[in-house]
Amino acid sequence: MSNYFIIGIIIIYLALLFFIAFIAEKHAKSKWVNNSVVYTLSLAVFCTAWTYYGSVGIAANSGIDFLPIYLGPVIAAPLWIVILRKIIRISKQHKISSIADFISLRYGNNRFLGALVTVLCLLGIVPYISLQLKAVSETFQILSLENNYVATSIFDDSTFYIAVLLAVFAAFFGTQTTDASEKHKGIVVSVAFESVLKLVFFLVIGVYVTYFLFDGTSDIFDKMSQTENFKSLYSFNGFENGFSWLYTILLSFMAIFLLPRQFQISVVENVREKHLKQAIWMFPLYLLLFNVFVIYIAWAGNLSIGNPDVAEYYALLLPLQNGNNFLALLVFLGGFSAVISMVVVSTLALSTMVSNNLIIPYGFLDKFLLNHPERNARYIKNIRRISIFFIIILAYVFYVNLSFYSSLYSIGLIAFVIISQLAPSFFIGLFWNRGSSKAAIIGILAGLAVSFYTLIIPLSIEAVAGSSFFVNEGLFGLSHLKPHAFLGVDYLSVPAHAFFWSMLVNVFCYLVLSLTSKGNYRERNYAEMFVDSRNYSKLQDNALVWKGEAYVTDIKNVLQKFLGDERTERALRLFFTKYDLPQDTQMADARLINFSEKLLTGSIGSASAKILIASVVKEEEVSLVEVLKILEESKETIANNKLLKDKSTELLLISNQLKFANQELVQKDQQKDEFLDTVAHELKTPITGIRAATEVLLDDDDDMPKELRQRFLENMLNDSDRLSRLIHNILDFEKLSTGRSDLNLGRHNIRETIEKASDSLTQLAANKNIKLWSTNKSDYYLKYDEDRILQVLTNLISNALKFTEPGKGNIYVQYKYDNGYLEVQVSDNGKGIPTEDLPYVFDKFYQSKNQNIKKPQGSGLGLAISKQIIDNHGGKIWIENNAKSGATFSFTLPFVK
């Protein structure tokens, strides 16, 4: 293919990307842009040219060693729900726009730490970007006809123009707003689109190689197994290889969180937390699909081409070798897509860090305070744009001068080792509130120094000079200081060795310094908020501890410089409304300070925001004790509020219960009064009768007829009986309810007992012309006190007699077996019980107002005594009104052995 043709394709492809990004920006709120699939696909920015070409290279030369770099992210994915969600939550609340901002904020807006993280990321990522450029350049050359063509100056190097175009793309879509924490929908959607392309094209070439060039997977495997050293390509090789796997998995695990481009896509560009839920399975699936054909393309390359030096480009060379230029072009475009997304997102992330954590806090702050807001916005955007070009040009320069010496794979690993130095301060700081800024800075510096000593310096020396005394013999000729076998550890691969030592030193410094030195109050403050991020969303603006004097107008002036008048007014109005403060509040409080810092963070980074706000307020040093106290207080307030709420609900419940109990008591009291009246009445009535009759008889002067005298005497007798019955009932009930009356239990047949009860009342019923039915003939033997049960039955039946109308009345006595109990029912067709009286029927002294006879004859104790008797037998007694007319009294007796 001719150069011009390829360049034409590249330009068309880039134009397509611009178009997609443009459309996405235009429809930034559409659901086609904001969904979990786009989020997951954009996460696949993880798969760079390293994945696309490099994996095949490793697979060809060292077998399945290409896998662990994908196992790390796969292991990390389920943890996203815990770790990444926490990071996203904190970042959104603080308008964090990069990992440098994140780490610097965790350690109290530490300016130096933010700058250090930025420099470290530049160190790790710029060579990585240059690698991508190298891949474009090399694949371009392979594809073009002029195989031996080597650029003589940058102006006739196509890679340079591609790099510039990428910078334009990143600069255009990456700096639409001054607030870097805003979403970049155009870039995200184009990255997602590229992720689809690179996967599809890679799968196409995989299928082509496996099924068209060869006869399927087993064909490749069979042919490969006949070659030498085959076994080493698909198995582990002892301890060294095992550790190498472990280390690569760990490294890639960290990278998925720490790489600036991953942080940019997974945290800053995250639209909704819930997209994570889909991403945790879709992203591993994507990686799996990507790796299905790697080993077959590699082995096919080994079999057909067999040149380990170009193994990385087997995917491109195989179709070319077989004359399929179209497929080769697709492969090239897939690889090119991987490059573009990585370069664009990385430079975007790095440029934000460079501007917000390096350039602005270290040089431009004073200037900003004097400028107009529009000018400041232009300044900030320009700083970012220049940063983007600067980074890409730096990467290009690096590529031209250095990267020829190293393979894609090893430079990628170096980048990972450098970036992984952020891991201790990032991960441990997220869950351990003791981690301090001093510890983070020294840990990172020490880890970086170790990785320089053991990896970067030796590699650079070797790249330039071939081999060196330093590498072979160690510093000053001391074998313990050999950079690749530090302290005699000589059984690890070079990067694994560097990773091991740098991490060890880094973590050690971090932990020891955190434990021995305490950070300042601000640091502890943010540490507390980050570690406790779940409660934090409740603490919100209150969480920042701040003491001092500040005027709202001063703060407003600063905000206006960056947000403009309108946005500042709106933001402050919202703030005052939210906290119920008057709109003309004069003095700023901690909440406003915190709120303003957050507003500025997106534009100029957290460290700068802190410095700017601090410049207009008179802040007093707050002691650590105060910080902890205030934090504890705000936490306690929340806890107390909850406790208070619980308590008050409980109190309400108790007071309701009390109210109810009180009502019951009042009712009981009334009942008692009524009963006493009844008892008095009942006692006095026969006494009155006796007394009056006695008086009449005494005064009688013998003119009273004999039968009248007889009737007076009979009345006196009846009244005496009535009196003694009443007294007996009261005492009986008292005995039963206090348990002083023992049941005389024996085995009896219920049929016989009911017969006895009916017999004693048949006459009474017949007198009133009421029919008494007891039709059951079954024998049930159970243990009970027959006299007492007779008392109950007699009571219930005579009650029924009282409630039924003479001549029309029917009373039924029935019984049945029911689940371990015998249930006896006495039902009538009388008036029934008023519904409102139903609950009180068994209370002592209750007397229905609904009786047929004129005068209540009972003591009001009959049913109360019956209930007591049944209770004492371990049964239950209750009453229901019948559907039609009358009531049914039922009681149960247990069958016990």
The answer to the question of residue 737 lying near another protein (CB under 8 A) is: no
Structure tokens that stand for 201 in this block: 């094209």
- Piece of the chain touching another protein by CB under 8 A; list 323-331, 411-419, 570-578, 715-723: 715-723
Amino acid at 329: L
The answer to the question of residue 854 lying near another protein (CB under 8 A) is: yes
The answer to the question of residue 282 lying near another protein (CB under 8 A) is: no
Amino acid at 755: E
Parallel, antiparallel or unpaired: strands 821-828 and 810-818: antiparallel
Q: Give the residue with the Cβ less far from another protein, 644 or 708.
A: 708
Is-contact 412 126, C-beta < 8 A?
A: no
Nearest to 562, CA basis, from 384, 386, 365, 383: 365
Q: In whole angstroms, how close is the CB of 679 to another protein at the nearest point? A: 10
> What's the length of the chain?
897
The residue with tokens 């077989």 is: 322
Nearest to 168, CA basis, from 456, 392, 381, 500: 392
Q: Give the residue with the Cβ less far from another protein, 515 or 708.
A: 708
User: Among 696, 727, 766, 896, which residue sits at the site for another protein (rule: CB under 8 A)?
Assistant: 696
Q: In whole angstroms, how close is the CB of 684 to another protein at the nearest point? A: 4
Residues in CB range of 813: below 8 A, 6 or more apart: 754, 757, 758, 772, 773, 774, 793, 797, 824, 825, 826
Q: CA 406 to CA 681: how far, in whole Å?
A: 116
The answer to the question of residue 718 lying near another protein (CB under 8 A) is: yes
Parallel, antiparallel or unpaired: strands 771-773 and 810-818: parallel
Nearest to 839, CA basis, from 709, 668, 695, 700: 668
Q: CA 37 to CA 833: how far, in whole Å?
A: 70
User: Among 102, 364, 712, 733, which residue sits at the site for another protein (rule: CB under 8 A)?
Assistant: 712
What is the pattern of x (binds another protein, CB under 8 A) and - over residues 590-629? ----------------------------------------
Q: In whole angstroms, how close is the CB of 806 to another protein at the nearest point? A: 17
User: Among 695, 721, 752, 818, which residue sits at the site for another protein (rule: CB under 8 A)?
Assistant: 695
What is the pattern of x (binds another protein, CB under 8 A) and - over residues 856-885? x-----------------------------
DSSP state of 29: T
The answer to the question of residue 689 lying near another protein (CB under 8 A) is: yes
Is-contact 304 129, C-beta < 8 A?
A: no
Buried (b) or exposed (e) across 536-575, using 16+ Cβ within 10 A?
A: beebebbbbbbeeebebeebbebbbbbbbeeebeebbeeb
The answer to the question of residue 715 lying near another protein (CB under 8 A) is: yes
User: Among 179, 589, 719, 828, which residue sits at the site for another protein (rule: CB under 8 A)?
Assistant: 719
User: Among 3, 760, 825, 851, which residue sits at the site for another protein (rule: CB under 8 A)?
Assistant: 851
Q: Give the residue with the Cβ less far from another protein, 530 or 845.
A: 845
Is-contact 49 137, C-beta < 8 A?
A: no
Q: CA 370 to CA 562: how far, in whole Å?
A: 11
Q: In whole angstroms, how close is the CB of 704 to another protein at the nearest point? A: 8
Q: In whole angstroms, how close is the CB of 677 to another protein at the nearest point? A: 7
Residues in CB range of 312: below 8 A, 6 or more apart: 53, 54, 56, 57, 407, 408, 409
The answer to the question of residue 711 lying near another protein (CB under 8 A) is: yes
Nearest to 91, CA basis, from 430, 510, 360: 430
Structure tokens that stand for 567 in this block: 């946005």
DSSP state of 551: B
The answer to the question of residue 504 lying near another protein (CB under 8 A) is: no
Q: CA 854 to CA 877: how far, in whole Å?
A: 27
Q: In whole angstroms, how close is the CB of 661 to another protein at the nearest point? A: 27
Q: Give the residue with the Cβ less far from another protein, 767 or 778.
A: 767
- Piece of the chain touching another protein by CB under 8 A; list 363-371, 459-467, 680-688, 766-774: 680-688
Q: CA 430 to CA 241: how far, in whole Å?
A: 32
Q: How many residues bind another protein (CB under 8 A)?
A: 26
Q: In whole angstroms, how close is the CB of 859 to another protein at the nearest point? A: 15
Dihedral pair phi/psi, residue 826, rounded to 5°:
-120, 110
DSSP state of 97: -
- Piece of the chain touching another protein by CB under 8 A; list 136-144, 561-569, 675-683, 759-767: 675-683
User: Among 480, 659, 668, 684, which residue sits at the site for another protein (rule: CB under 8 A)?
Assistant: 684
The answer to the question of residue 685 lying near another protein (CB under 8 A) is: yes
- Piece of the chain touching another protein by CB under 8 A; list 7-15, 108-116, 691-699, 767-775: 691-699
User: Among 740, 849, 884, 897, which residue sits at the site for another protein (rule: CB under 8 A)?
Assistant: 849
Q: Give the residue with the Cβ less far from another protein, 618 or 691.
A: 691
Nearest to 798, CA basis, from 757, 842, 751: 757
Q: CA 86 to CA 754: how far, in whole Å?
A: 76
Q: Give the residue with the Cβ less far from another protein, 241 or 685.
A: 685
Nearest to 4, CA basis, from 161, 182, 239, 119: 161
Amino acid at 738: T
The answer to the question of residue 805 lying near another protein (CB under 8 A) is: no
3-class secondary structure, 703: coil
The answer to the question of residue 688 lying near another protein (CB under 8 A) is: yes
Structure tokens that stand for 517 in this block: 């030195």
- Piece of the chain touching another protein by CB under 8 A; list 35-43, 438-446, 693-701, 863-871: 693-701
Parallel, antiparallel or unpaired: strands 618-619 and 821-828: unpaired
Q: In whole angstroms, how close is the CB of 854 to another protein at the nearest point? A: 5
What is the pattern of x (binds another protein, CB under 8 A) and - over residues 283-302? --------------------
- Piece of the chain touching another protein by CB under 8 A; list 72-80, 264-272, 360-368, 679-687: 679-687
User: Among 680, 713, 731, 764, which residue sits at the site for another protein (rule: CB under 8 A)?
Assistant: 680
Is-contact 216 40, C-beta < 8 A?
A: no
Nearest to 329, CA basis, from 206, 150, 151, 205: 205
The answer to the question of residue 681 lying near another protein (CB under 8 A) is: yes
Q: Give the residue with the Cβ less far from another protein, 592 or 723.
A: 723
Q: Give the residue with the Cβ less far from another protein, 119 or 692.
A: 692
The answer to the question of residue 687 lying near another protein (CB under 8 A) is: yes
Q: CA 199 to CA 43: how far, in whole Å?
A: 13
- Piece of the chain touching another protein by CB under 8 A; list 100-108, 532-540, 817-825, 847-855: 847-855
Q: CA 79 to CA 179: how far, in whole Å?
A: 29
- Piece of the chain touching another protein by CB under 8 A; list 537-545, 558-566, 705-713, 726-734: 705-713
Is-contact 525 276, C-beta < 8 A?
A: no
The answer to the question of residue 777 lying near another protein (CB under 8 A) is: no
The answer to the question of residue 693 lying near another protein (CB under 8 A) is: yes
Q: In whole angstroms, how close is the CB of 689 to another protein at the nearest point? A: 4
The answer to the question of residue 720 lying near another protein (CB under 8 A) is: no
DSSP state of 810: E
User: Among 855, 883, 884, 897, which residue sits at the site for another protein (rule: CB under 8 A)?
Assistant: 855
Q: Give the residue with the Cβ less far from another protein, 698 or 883.
A: 698
Is-contact 887 830, C-beta < 8 A?
A: yes
The answer to the question of residue 708 lying near another protein (CB under 8 A) is: yes
- Piece of the chain touching another protein by CB under 8 A; list 82-90, 388-396, 678-686, 805-813: 678-686
Q: In whole angstroms, how close is the CB of 711 to another protein at the nearest point? A: 7
Q: What does the binding site for another protein look like in residue numbers (CB under 8 A)?
A: 677, 680-681, 684-689, 691-693, 695-696, 699, 708, 711-712, 715, 718-719, 849, 851, 854-856
